[in-house]
Chains A and B, each alone.
Chain A
Amino acid sequence: KAGVTQTPRYLIKTRGQQVTLSCSPISGHRSVSWYQQTPGQGLQFLFEYFSETQRNKGNFPGRFSGRQFSNSRSEMNVSTLELGDSALYLCASSLGTSGVGTDTQYFGPGTRLTVL
């Protein structure tokens, strides 16, 4: 069974630009969550999607948005990039039936975003 895939693996953008990251979950998984990992703040929850609906959102500004498609693939968009958005962005998929509180999440390798 293929794991969680994320594209692209690396991105370099400049301040003010926008970026879209993609995540393909494990087949059969209907929940996709996104996390930001930085040396200073650690791993922080961005949002979770289940059946094309956002079920919860972390404490991030509105510049961070996402969506999920009918095949459970998810995209995350960051607009008006800032230097502080440089991070590793991880997505995780799970069955979604119980919620992130109990479901096992399977993580992708991440997308390394660098903002210059």
Chain B
Amino acid sequence: GNSVTQMEGPVTLSEEAFLTINCTYTATGYPSLFWYVQYPGEGLQLLLKATKADDKGSNKGFEATYRKETTSFHLEKGSVQVSDSAVYFCALGLNTGNQFYFGTGTSLTVIP
């Protein structure tokens, strides 16, 4: 079946620390991969995406590379800020059958 597994939180980091949130997937076809972010009290927003193997998505200092060989799409940021505190969701989408799957979400808190 299709699924997304991401590291459990919560994650607490100091400002300017390096962030990695692990995400791995299982898919029967050729998925696109996404990271969505949910800031406190707000809806989900697309952070970045990659549609094929070896693609790198990037936005607001966040990066993730679609690794087919390890079925992974880990989210990284070199220096986090307090404003990055949010819940991060890894997701995969399949055009075949129009299917979309989210991971369980990882809560990140950045302290000054």
Residues of A within 8 A of B (CB): 4, 33, 35, 42-45, 48, 55-56, 90, 92, 98-102, 104-110
Contact = CB atoms under 8 A, between A and B. Distances in A.
Contact of B98 (A101, A106, A107): A101
29 contacts: A4-B43, A42-B102, A42-B103, A42-B105, A43-B102, A55-B98, A56-B97, A56-B98, A56-B99, A90-B43, A90-B44, A98-B95, A99-B93, A99-B98, A100-B95, A100-B98, A100-B99, A101-B32, A101-B93, A101-B94, A101-B95, A101-B98, A102-B51, A102-B93, A104-B49, A106-B46, A107-B36, A107-B43, A108-B43
Interface residues of B, number: 24
B35 to A, nearest CB: 12
A28 to B, nearest CB: 17
B99 A110 contact: no
Nearest to A45: B100
Given A42-B104, A90-B44, A108-B43, A102 B99 contact: no
A80 to B, nearest CB: 26
Given A90-B43, A100-B93, A101-B98, 4 more contacts: A33-B100, A45-B101, A56-B97, A99-B95
